[in-house]
Amino acid sequence: MSADKNTLDAVDLKSLSLPPSLPVAEVRVEDYTDSSGEPALRILVVLEEDADVENLKGDSVRALKSAIHDSLRNHGVSAFPYIFLAKPSELADVDGEG
Amino acid sequence: MYEDLLTQAASLAQLDPKKPKQANLRRAVSSAYYAVFHYLVHEACCVQIGTQHNQAAYRHVLGRAFSHTVMNQACRSFGGGTLKDAAIKGLPRNPAGNYVIPNEIQDIAKTFVELQEKRHLADYDLTERFRRSDVLALIQQVQSDVEQFATLAPSDDRRFFLACLWAWKELTTR
């Protein structure tokens, strides 16, 4: 299910202050119900294909996710955001068990 | 335990880098979750029992009392940056009237909630497809949050958070 405008505004790439060390191409969001039955958000952060995920720093990951949490909070969105990261090539690879 | 579980998660996530197996990524997520779970339980038990080697048996027994659900509820509140008035009645507030939760606590609390959900997906939902980028990021996130939390000086805020990991349900329903 698609998220409301307030939520979409909160995760707009133009308004998010993201760390340069983790280049982001796109942020997608949808309404979600988590395993405990709580209303939540499922957010997919699509990284640039050349993002160096082998040498990710925890500080960068935290900065990226905190920016999303903070923006949602500032927009009055209280649902917990479950944030997933992926490269375009990983999203395209849907065949087989792997 | 925490270090070994996180090392295990990293080893699994690094297997077959060009075509990682879903089974390995799923087990990596699960290990990363249990790494942060056991870290928080250990820290909470150290506050209650003590940190000496000869107190380990008491810590291990007490650790069995922790509930994943209660810890999730506590972490959801601490990670959100504000706690219900009923839970913090009488605690010190800032000039704006808020009980201030240190960032070190908020960050590890948010990570716990995120990882518990992903562990649930990893262990039970075969429609979910895990991506290596996400799993590697989670592992780094856990390591960084734990290192950051470990630098937090002993304080009432830290002890209160760790106590809430087992006392939250009773604290918020009275």
What are the pLDDT digits (tens) for A51-81? 988 898 999 999 999 999 999 999 999 999 9
**What CATH number should be reported for the domain whose range is A5-91?**
3.30.70
Q: How far apart are the first and last CA of chain B?
A: 35
Q: What is the model's pTM?
A: 0.93
pLDDT-derived band of residue B109, with 50, 70 and 90 as boundaries?
A: very high
Partner residue facing B22 (CB), from A40, A61, A97: A97
Q: Which pLDDT score is estimated for A98?
A: 56
pLDDT of residue B126: 92
* pLDDT for res A2: 65
pLDDT in tens, B42-62: 999 999 999 999 999 999 999
The candidate with the shortest Cα–Cα distance to A31, out of A22, A40, A44, is A40
The DSSP bridge pattern shows strands A39-47 and A80-86 to be parallel
Kindly report the CA angle at A24 between B9 and B29, in degrees rounded to 5? 15
Choose the closest CB to A82 out of B22, B80, B117: B117
CB contact under 8 A, B117 and A94: no
Q: Is residue A93 pLDDT above 80, yes or no? A: no
Domain residue limits, chain B: 2-172
Q: Enter the tokens of residue B143.
A: 């390591």
pLDDT at A47: 96
The residues spanned by each domain of chain A are 5-91
CA B134 to mean position of chain CA atoms: 18
Whether residues A34 and B117 touch (CB distance < 8 A) is answered with yes
B110-147 residue pLDDT tens = 999 999 999 999 999 999 999 999 999 999 999 999 99
Contact check, Cβ <8 Å, B144/A58: yes
Q: Which two tokens stand for residue A10?
A: 């909160």
